[in-house]
Homo-oligomer: A and B are copies of this chain.
Amino acid sequence: MTRLNEKHVAIEAAIAQISDGASIMVGGFGSPGTPFALLDELLKQGQKHLTLIKNDANESDIGIGKLISAGRVDRLVTSHIGLNRVAIDEMNAGRLSVEIYPQGLLAEKIRSAGAGHYGFLTDIGIGTEIGEGRQEVECDGQRWAIEPAIHADFALIHADLADHYGNLIYRGTAINFNPLMAMAAEHVIAQTFHIEAPGNLVPEQIHTPCAFVSQVIQVDPATSEQGRRQHDN
């Protein structure tokens, strides 16, 4: 692990650790919680053949939508891509491999990696098309589907507030998948609007303890889609 006292780094150096072919968990449900600045830096640096794990595909011109549109993503593990027409077209054209899970199972598969398990046993989806092809096991006279953990090389996280050790606090519905991915990935890069000195965060209010976080990057809300209104409904 990165040492506590060496985590606050520049965005370029943090993202440069990602190589072609990497698997990357990306926080966010829609726009809130999506680490737009980290994704824009990834777009700029040019890594390709990426596997992304994210609840949704953002919209086509923001966040991971930009990476998909630029042909940089080979595979997407997700629960819903309905708001991204480009992702749907790329999937239908066979250029983007899309693996779809029910949202709560996706969350738990990531959390399962974060808890250090192989996976978990569920009754969700048994007998439906989306539950086909899973290994099952009989326990207490009933069939249960095995849902293996989802692992990744990197997680890109958006937090509201951090300290220099990498303790993270999220805000509003920007929490979503971020704390789960922070536990799960091998290497965790978190962007945050504010970085405080250790001691300035209340221990009970920390959502992700610093032990899970490899690097923290301070970003300006005004420089990315983080500060952009996405839709007007």
Contact = CB atoms under 8 A, between A and B. Distances in A.
Interface string A124-153: 000000000001010110101010100000
Interface in A169-201: 169-172, 175
Contacts of A135: 139
Interface string A105-117: 0001000100111
Contacts of A120: 112, 115, 117-121
Nearest to A202: B205
Nearest to A122: B117
Chain A interface category by residue count: 20 to 34
A204 interface: yes
A123 interface: yes
Given A204-B170, A204-B172, A108 B118 contact: no
A203 B117 CA distance: 30
Contacts of A123: 118
Contacts of A175: 204
B121 A118 contact: yes
| Of A117, A146, A170, A207, most B-chain CB atoms within 10 Å | A117
B204 A204 contact: no
A125 to B, nearest CB: 13
Closest 6 pairs (CB-CB, A-B) = A118-B121, A120-B120, A118-B144, A117-B120, A119-B121, A137-B137
Interface of A: 108, 112, 115-123, 135, 137, 139-140, 142, 144, 146, 148, 169-172, 175, 203-205, 207
26 contacts: A108-B115, A108-B117, A112-B120, A115-B120, A117-B120, A117-B121, A118-B120, A118-B121, A118-B122, A118-B123, A118-B142, A119-B120, A119-B121, A119-B139, A120-B120, A120-B121, A121-B146, A139-B146, A140-B148, A169-B204, A170-B204, A171-B204, A172-B203, A175-B204, A204-B205, A204-B207
